[in-house]
Structure 1
Amino acid sequence: MAGKSAVTREEIVEAAYERARSQGLASLSVRAVAGDCGVAVGTLYNYFPDKSSLVTEVIERFWENVAFGGSGASGACPQGACFAYREGENLVGFCRRVADTLADAVLEFQDGWLAEISTLDGRTKARGLKAERACFAHIEANLEQAIEHDHAVNAELLAQVGAAPLTRFIWCGIYESLRAGDRSCSVLFALLEHALY
């Protein structure tokens, strides 16, 4: 294949990321990304030993951008601020902001991005979980802060269930609602407002 004589790892990842963003993870093939970069297929193998490694890099980039680099239609936020607890913010307000920010990030990608990640082969999925977990840990730490700082939350209920289990329950509810296509997480937030205040 005639074309560019050299390409950087970053250019390859960016091309793969853009392809996944616009056409989904299933569109990622070494041949397609090499074509996007204007290089021979073998050139990509100099940087990525297999397709799984390339897909993993794209997934890692997605979660890194979501949690720490800013993403979504609302624009970029400072490092780590997209999901950072803001002093005085109530719990449900914080949860709505988290859901909106994550939904905006996912909207930039082809429909079904989160669901598509869950259908990857075991090896690729396992590799992508590390970046996903780092993003989720960042969100959960700030969610727990929002719970602890919202003095309107029913103290008796909070003492009964604990901040950490409540954090996990809320985060799982937000994530699963978004995966199911419920951007507003309306049922979850209505239940939280009723039960916690």
Structure 2
Amino acid sequence: MNTIVTSREDILEASRELIRQRGISALSIRSVAAACDVSVGSIYNYFDSKADLISAAVESVWHEIFHRQGDAAAFRDTLACIAWMYDRLEDGSKRYPGFFTLHALGFMQEGKAGGKQQMARVWRHIVDELCVVLRSDAGVRADAFTDQLTVERLADTILSLMVSAMMRGEYDSGAVLEIVRRVLY
């Protein structure tokens, strides 16, 4: 057994690898401790419970999928951003088979309030970033947004369409890009 106490990032990296290889249902304090070659108590030094560990691991997966490292060009305009988001979701579904569906369904069950809050935070962050892109896109018509169609509502609608496609395992951004093109440009 590893005599050096592992770090939070090592634990999350091992958790992501367990999710990648065996699915989110394989995640437990014991399985992560075994993967890190540390005692169960070492995991509890960083996470108070299995729910805390799972929540942090899920957030870590989302961060890995949507991390913008080297992707600055994807945020030059709304259409490029949406295409990039679909590409990231498709890549994430390949790296983490079943993650999106199990994550969404698992946290929507009764008694998963913390998971729902965590999922809402992740999705709120995505909507907020999409709003930034929508507001800074020089190609958007000046009259595109109204009291009924605000930047926030459009961003939320785009994310809803993406989540729906994600749940169906469809990662072709063409239809959403066409809708956005007609509405904004």
Q: Which residue of 2 aligns with 1:59?
A: 58
Cα distance, 1:62 vs structure 2: 2.0
- The answer to whether the aligner puts 1:168 opposite 2:130 as a matched pair is no
1:107 to 94, 97, 108: 94
1:1-197 superposed matches below 5 A? 3-10=1-8, 11-67=10-66, 69-70=67-68, 76-77=69-70, 81=72, 85-86=75-76, 89=77, 91-109=78-96, 111-121=97-107, 122-129=112-119, 131-145=121-135, 149-151=138-140, 158-159=145-146, 161-193=149-181
**What amino acid is the match of 1:182?**
E
Could you say what the CA RMSD is over the residues aligned between the two structures, in angstroms?
A: 2.8
Unaligned runs of 5+ in 2: none
- Work out whether residues 52 and 123 of structure 1, in 8 Å CA contact, stay in contact via their aligned partners in 2: no
Secondary structure of the corresponding residue to residue 118 of structure 1:
helix
Cα distance, 1:127 vs structure 2: 4.7
Deviations 1:119-162 (A, max 9, x none): 2351441352264145313432234226x5324x5x66644634
Secondary structure of the corresponding residue to residue 105 of structure 2:
coil
- Work out whether residues 29 and 40 of structure 2, in 8 Å CA contact, stay in contact via their aligned partners in 1: yes
| Alignment length (residue pairs) | 179
**What amino acid is the match of 2:7?**
R
| TM-score, structure 1 normalization | 0.73
| TM-score, structure 2 normalization | 0.77
Matches of 1:30 and 1:166 in 2, distance apart?
40
Identity %: 21
